[in-house]
A and B are shown apart, each in its own frame.
Chain A
Amino acid sequence: MTVTSDVPRADLIGCPNCDLLHRAKPIAEGERAVCQRCHTVLIAPRAAAYSRALALSVANLILVTAAVFHPFLEIHAAGIVNRVSLLDVATSFGTGALVVVTVTSVAMILLVPLLRALLLAYALTPLALQHRAYAGARWAFRVAQELKPWAMTEIFVIGCAVALVKVAGLARLNFGPAFWMFIALSAFVILVDRSLCTWSIWSALDEAEKKPRRQPARRVRQ
């Protein structure tokens, strides 16, 4: 794939990691195009990617919302039972600078995954339905991708397991329903990200913005 100046710029793809230019060609679903020099995956389209990612994003929205209100761990000690939901965690570091820790933890466990699911659903809905892209869809998708490393549901799940062991000598702990929701959520997030090929989505958004606005239904006078 030698790139010469006669290739239209829109057909070029630059490797985000090493800047090498390639000519972008549509490839079959399930195949991957990697950078010749640094092997970064450039294009990796998946079958039915948009509807699958959309469905999973909606599922994630529901899971995060439900998980807020259900306890994720409960503790039994000396006849006392304490159940905590994420709302309780959010308010646990009562004093001083440690509030920062609470706020960041809750943001990473709850707010960022929620926001990502919302933004992805917003950007992908018109692609899945083959409609014209919504206003701001590009912004939504870019922010969703930039937030990716800060959504830490799967790390929180491991944290729950460690917490369980850590107080084993002190009290008995059980997992609550929200814990299992978070396990499902972590799996779904991985599936969403696996089905999203950035290059294909940006191209699809480009196409989706060229579509005409839907005509308002014509009223027929009798």
Chain B
Amino acid sequence: MTTAREEGLVTCRTCARVWPGTAEACGRCGARLSSRDALSLQRVWAWWIAGVACYIPANLYPMLVTETLTSRSESTIIGGAIDIAKHGDLGIALIVLIASVFIPVVKFIAIAYLGLSVKLRSQQTPVGRMHLFEVIEFIGRWSMIDVFVVAILSALVQLSVVASIQPGPAALAFALSVIFTMFSAKSFDPRLIWDYLPTRAGSRAP
């Protein structure tokens, strides 16, 4: 078992074609080539910090402002989920909590763990970390649910004086947080997980 880098080659991460190590762009799909993305971790942490920074106001400010004839109420992400639960829809409340709280927090922790493990040249459970990376890339998008709900409701509930719903500042902060974390995960070069593992030693003969 050898890697492209050990053979002096470089793999295109978009189309999997292999090129000589000096090539700068993939001759087939046109993607930019790099044997290892040297700035990968820097970009991961930059987007990660931006994502965490936006997640704080996203939870403190109201997501939705509801005005009816008699009242005006503001609800945050967690407050909104609790309201839904009080209506008796535990399933939907759970979806909101998972998408808006559980997934982002797990994602922050997981990306930090991956970044640190590569920095510390960990050799532990590479397959597990690879799966973790794939899961993170897959679930991150689902956090956008709450942003879409706000967009839908503020377009829909415009019933003159009877009731109206406006988006709160948290909608923007939360959308940015999700997008920044998606960029953070995308910046991570998973090949770094494998670089400190021996490839020749202990490998099985074909």
Contact = CB atoms under 8 A, between A and B. Distances in A.
B147 A101 contact: yes
Contact of B16 (A2, A15, A104, A108): A15
Nearest to B16: A13
Nearest to B93: A165
Nearest to B148: A159
Interface stretch (B43-51, B116-124, B152-160): B152-160
5 interchain residue pairs of minimum CB distance: A14-B11, A159-B148, A92-B155, A19-B3, A18-B194
B30 A170 contact: no
Nearest to A42: B16
B3, B152, B165, B186 interface centre (most CB from chain A within 10 Å): B152
A5 B7 contact: yes
A142 B158 contact: no
B104 to A, nearest CB: 14
B159 to A, nearest CB: 5
A206 B152 CA distance: 44
Contact of B155 (A42, A89, A97): A89
Contact of B191 (A17, A88, A168): A17
B77 interface: no
B3 A20 contact: yes
Contacts of A146: 14
Interface residues of B, number: 73
A205 B154 CA distance: 45
B92 A162 contact: yes
Contacts of A27: none
A94 to B, nearest CB: 9
Interface stretch (A51-59, A60-68, A72-80): A72-80
Contacts of B158: 82
Interface string B169-206: 10110010001001000100011011000010000011
Given A14-B18, A82-B158, A97-B169, 9 more contacts: A13-B17, A16-B13, A16-B14, A18-B3, A18-B191, A77-B162, A105-B175, A155-B142, A163-B156
B20, B30, B156, B167 interface centre (most CB from chain A within 10 Å): B156
A139 B193 CA distance: 29
A167 B158 CA distance: 12
Nearest to A81: B159
Given A158-B95, A199-B16, A171 B157 contact: yes
B3 to A, nearest CB: 4
A100 B172 contact: yes
B163 interface: yes
Contact of B152 (A10, A73, A100, A150): A73
B157 to A, nearest CB: 6
Contacts of B141: 149-150, 152, 155
Contacts of A109: 148
A2 B206 contact: yes
B105 interface: no
Contacts of B74: none
17 contacts: A9-B19, A12-B4, A21-B3, A39-B127, A75-B156, A77-B163, A92-B151, A93-B154, A101-B175, A142-B14, A142-B30, A142-B31, A145-B14, A158-B142, A162-B95, A162-B96, A163-B149
A98 to B, nearest CB: 5
A123 to B, nearest CB: 11
B89 A14 contact: no
